[in-house]
Amino acid sequence: MLYRNSPGPEPRHTPSHQHQTSTKTSTRHNATKIDLILDAIAAIKAREPGESFSYREVAKRFGVNRSTLSRRH
């Protein structure tokens, strides 16, 4: 039983790796993914007018995420 004025448990030390900021938006790997997405968009735009396509197939061919490709196109 804890009393109102009694000190609580000692605060736990948070490991330093939990304070690091995420760099997921600035890595070299993501920079190359952007290039692939832009290449995929260029391929979609290069189609003949009225020619059908599938975001799924284009994304697979260029190795990018389908939903990201459809959002950016």
- Per-residue pLDDT reduced to its tens digit, 40-62: 999 999 999 999 999 999 999 99
Instruction: Provide the angle, in degrees to the nearest 10, between the axes of the packed helices 28-45 and 55-62.
Output: 130
51: left (phi over 0), alpha (psi -120 to 50) or beta: beta
Specify if 13 maps to a domain. no
Question: Mean pLDDT over residues 14-32, rounded?
Answer: 59
Instruction: Tell me what the pLDDT averaged over the chain comes to.
Output: 79
Specify if 20 maps to a domain. no
Specify if 23 maps to a domain. no
Specify if 41 maps to a domain. yes
Number of domains in the chain: 1
Q: What is the pTM of this model?
A: 0.58
- What pLDDT is stored for residue 53 in this prediction? 95
Q: Give the domain range for residue 46.
A: 28-72
